[in-house]
Amino acid sequence: MTKEKLFEIIAFAEASGFIINGEEINKHIIEELIDVTSKSDLKITHKISLENINVRGAARQKVKLATKLFSRTISMALSRCGSMGILKQGNWPECAEFFNLVNEWFDIMNVKVPTSDSRDRTKAYGLALDLQNRIIEEMTK
């Protein structure tokens, strides 16, 4: 189930984007983020490249590209660059929040063992039910 949902999210975002809280979330903000951070010696988006958003053919089946794109690292990079005024697009708070939500949702859906580290969302479903249900509920809005 998780692979298919993640592929659906990527395909939709690539085609047209999302409208969340009245703001459009599409690949253009990630292209801008990659562009502005690649000019620095300290690259905060080291996990991704344009390959992560311009996926073609069989590469669409690679979950690793999607998980790197929809990660907490990229969410934090959007927040950092947005709050510093580096990003021109004003929808960076919604984008950062969405990327973090997808990351948390994927953590819940991708659990393989009943226990984990201190992060509640990575425990087996039911061991941190309140938080896990809140994340799943937010994802299905």
Q: Is 14 exposed, middle or buried (0-12, 13-18, 19+ CB in 10 A)?
A: middle
pLDDT (0 to 100) of residue 93: 92
Name the phi and psi angles at 20, rounded to 5.
-130, 125
For the segment 17-66, what is each residue's pLDDT rounded down to a tens digit?
777 778 788 888 999 999 999 887 778 888 898 888 887 788 777 888 88
pLDDT (0 to 100) of residue 1: 46
Site of tokens 């590469």: 59
Q: Is 61 exposed, middle or buried (0-12, 13-18, 19+ CB in 10 A)?
A: exposed
Alpha carbon distance 141, 138 (integer Å): 5
**What is the DSSP annotation of 8-60?**
HHHHHHHHT-EEETTEEE-HHHHHHHHHHHHTSSS-TTTT--GGGTS--GGGG
Alpha carbon distance 82, 106 (integer Å): 24
Q: Total structural domains in the chain? A: 1
0.85 cut: is pTM over it?
no
Whether 69 and 11 have beta carbons less than 8 Å apart is answered as: no
Q: Which residues contact 46 (CB under 8 A, 6 or more apart)?
A: none
Domain that holds residue 23: 2-139
For the segment 80-96, what is each residue's pLDDT rounded down to a tens digit?
999 999 999 888 999 99
Residue 102: CB atoms within 10 Å: 25
